[in-house]
Amino acid sequence: MAKTIGILTAGGDSPGLNAAIRGVGKTLHEIYKIRVIGFRDGFRGLAENKTLQLEPNTLSGILTIGGTILGTSRDKPHRMLMDGETRNMTDTIAANYHAHQLDALVCLGGGGTQKNALKLKQAGLKILTLPKTIDNDVALTDTTIGFDTAIGIATEAIDRLHSTAHSHHRIIVVEIMGHKAGWLTLSAGIAGGADVILIPELPYTIELVVEAILQRVKKGKNFSIVAVAEGTMSEKEIATLRTLEGQIEASEDKMDRKKARDKLTRMEAKRANHTLRLAQQLEMFTGLESRVTILGHLQRGGTPSAADRLLATRLGSACADLIAANVHGVMVAARGAKTQPVPLEDVAGQRKLVPIDHPWLENARRVGTCIGSSVDDKG
C-alpha cells in the first residue's frame, strides 16, 4: 500500500508556512509518490478529524501566500477544550492517525509545538517537525521559518518611525514581539538604526537609557528611537520577580505563599502596560515628548521574504527525504546551507535565547547603540 503522510500547522501563524507545506507536499508527491493529507487548525483538526487533501493542484500557487492554508490553533493534544470541558485528546488523535493509515505526521510550529509533538511521539505516533516562529527561539536550529520576514517588517517600521520622530523631536518607543527572546528586536533594532535596544535577556536600568538619550540631545539630536521587546524587564522588576518567586518556594506558611502569589499575579498583569510606562518614564526624565508604537501581529502577516521561502522549501524537502527513509521522532533543523535531523527530546522544552556575549550585541554597542544593561555596558 502506498504511504500516506499527515501535515498540520500549530501555534501562532508565521510567514513561510505555506511555502513549507508546499516543500513537504510537492517533494513527497513528485519524488516519492506519497499521498499527503492536511489537518485543519492544528492539533484540533487531528482530534476532530478535519482534513484537506493536499493534491499537487492544491499546493500550486501557495509559495508566496502568507499565513497557512491549513489554519492553526494553540490547542494542546493533552489539554484541549471540547464541549466546554478540558480533555486529554491524545487517544482520539492517535485513533484518527491510525484510521487514516498515516505513516508519519509532520507538525510545523514553534517551541510549544515541539513539546506537543514529543508527547505524540511518546504515545506511539511517528512524528517529524519543522521549526517555525518569528521569535527565532526554537533550540538547535540556526533559524526558524518566519524570522527573516518579521525582521524586514519590524525594520521597515523603525525606518518609517525615524521620519516622524525627527520631525517632531520625539522619543518613539516601538514594541516588537519576543516574550522571552530578543532575537527579533535586536536584529531589527540594529538594521533599523534604533538608538536604544532593550531585550529580555538583558534587564535594563532606566537611568542608562535616559543618559543615552540625553547624550544625544547634547549632540543636537532631539529625537530617539527605542526598540523594546515585549518581554523586556528592568533590573528592578527582575529583582522583585525573583524575590517573590523565592518567597513562594521557601515559605512554609500557606497564607504567606498566597500573598506572594497574589503579588506576582498583579505584577504580571501590570506588565501588560510595560512599554507605555517606559515611554512615560522617558518623557518625564528627558523632557522630550514620547510616543508608543506597538507592532503586534503586523509582524506575522504578509508575503514571506525570499529567504523564508528558501528556508521553508529546504526544510520541507529535507523532511520529505527523511520520511522516505523512515526517519521520525526528529525536528528538521537548519544548519548552515544544510539541514540536520535533531531528536525531539533534545529540542522540546528548550529555548534559544540571545547570549549576553553574542556578536550582535557588540556590533550594536560599537555603533553607539544603548543596550540599557549595566552588566553589558561594562563589557
135 is catalytic: yes
**Cα distance between residue 168 and residue 235, in whole Å:** 31
Q: Kindly give, in sequence order, each residue whose CB lies less than 8 Å from that of residue 292, ignoring residues fewer than 6 positions away.
A: 172, 173, 174, 175, 275, 276, 279
How far does CA 323 lie from the centroid of its chain? 26
216 HSE (CA, 13 A, CB side): 23
The grid coordinates of residue 140 equal 538547535
Q: Kindly give, in sequence order, each residue whose CB lies less than 8 Å from that of residue 94, ignoring residues fewer than 6 positions away.
A: 120, 123, 124, 125
**Cα distance between residue 293 and residue 113, in whole Å:** 30
* Catalytic residue of the set 41, 75, 135, 308: 135
Q: What positions carry a catalytic annotation? A: 135
